[in-house]
Amino acid sequence: MHNDTGPFEFRCLICGKAITADVCIDHRICKISQLPEEGHDDRDLLPLGAIEMTSYGHYGTAFFDPCDDGTQVAALICDDCMEERSDRLMYIDKQRRLSPFNKAMGEFKARSEATRST
């Protein structure tokens, strides 16, 4: 059941756990657990123990496709849910190539251990 009334509480998209975020309001770092009524600048929203996933939408989805107007859909996913489902994640490298996330992280770890042992 959707709850579209009342304040927007930050919650993990997957498990629903409440999430707190650090933000800068009037030049002070504050902790908030719900979106301020007037909204908030996305660039300084720092969810604690969670990650913000965003998408511009694209051809092929019927859920969100504002046709490149620059707006995005965003979701918070807690670190536990990301870790538990990391075998479903993809990694995008600097050349924009997709690969399995866990494979890419394994290669980073192996490279960093090889560098450390030399």
Q: What DSSP character marks residue 70?
A: S
What is the smallest separation between the CB atom of 15 and Zn ion, expressed in angstroms? Answer: 3
User: With respect to Zn ion, which residue has the nearer C-beta, 21 or 78?
Assistant: 78
What is the smallest separation between the CB atom of 77 and Zn ion, expressed in angstroms? Answer: 6
Q: What are phi and psi of 2, to 5 degrees?
A: -75, 140
Residues within the interface to Zn ion (CB under 5 A) = 12, 14-15, 17, 78, 81
Q: Token pair for residue 55?
A: 């998408």
What is the smallest separation between the CB atom of 110 and Zn ion, expressed in angstroms? Answer: 28
User: With respect to Zn ion, which residue has the nearer C-beta, 14 or 73?
Assistant: 14
Tally of CB atoms within 10 A around 83? 9
What is the smallest separation between the CB atom of 1 and Zn ion, expressed in angstroms? Answer: 19
User: With respect to Zn ion, which residue has the nearer C-beta, 14 or 24?
Assistant: 14
Question: In 3D, which of 5, 13, 19, 6 has the Cα closest to residue 73?
Answer: 13
Question: In 3D, which of 2, 76, 77 has the Cα closest to residue 35?
Answer: 76
User: With respect to Zn ion, which residue has the nearer C-beta, 17 or 40?
Assistant: 17
